[in-house]
A = this chain, B = another copy of it.
C-alpha cells in the first residue's frame, strides 16, 4: 500500500507559468482597469496560450481573487488574532468601526484588483465575503442575521469607487462608516 499524494506536486513549468500569469495580470489590471482586460490580453502578455491560462483560471475574477488573496488574508489574521480594536477584546461597536476602517484602506490600496474580482453578484461567492460575513455576524447579537449583509453592503467595490469618483475622501467614507457602526450599539428596539 503506497502513500497517497492528494496534492501532486506542481510541475516546474506550471509554477513558472502561474507566476508569469499573475505578474502580467497585475500589470494589466493596473494599467487598463480590470474590466477592460480580456483573457486573451493576459495570455498574450504572459506569453502563454489561452488553454494554459484557462487551465488554472477559468475567468478574470479568479485571477483577481488570487492576487487579492494575500492582502485579505493579512486582514483576516488581524481580525482573529490581532490587537484590539481590530482583534478580539474591544466592544463590538468599536471592532466594527475598526473593521470598516481597515476595509477602506484595503479598497483604497487595491481598488483596481477588487473591481475585477468582487463585482456584482460574484462578490458574495468569494471566500473572503464569507469570512467578512462570519466576522460581522460574530459582532452582532443573535437573531440579527439580516443586518449582516446590510452592514457589508457599503463595502461593495462599486459603491466605494463611486463615492471616490464623486469626490469623497477615504477619510470621509471611513467616518461615515464609523457612524453607521453605531447601529449595533443598542440592540433594544426604539
Contact = CB atoms under 8 A, between A and B. Distances in A.
Interface of A: 119-121, 123-124, 144-147, 149-150, 153-154, 156, 158-159, 162-163, 166, 168, 172-173, 175-177, 179-180, 182-183, 185, 190
Given A154-B153, A158-B121, A173-B146, A179 B183 contact: yes
Copies per complex of this chain? 2
6 contacts: A146-B173, A146-B175, A147-B176, A153-B153, A153-B159, A182-B183
Contacts of A145: 168, 172
A180 B121 contact: no
Closest 5 CB pairs of A and B: A146-B176, A153-B153, A150-B154, A153-B154, A146-B172
A175 B144 CA distance: 9
Given A156-B156, A168-B145, A150 B177 contact: yes
**Residue among A159, A177, A185 with max Cβ neighbours from chain B (10 Å):** A159
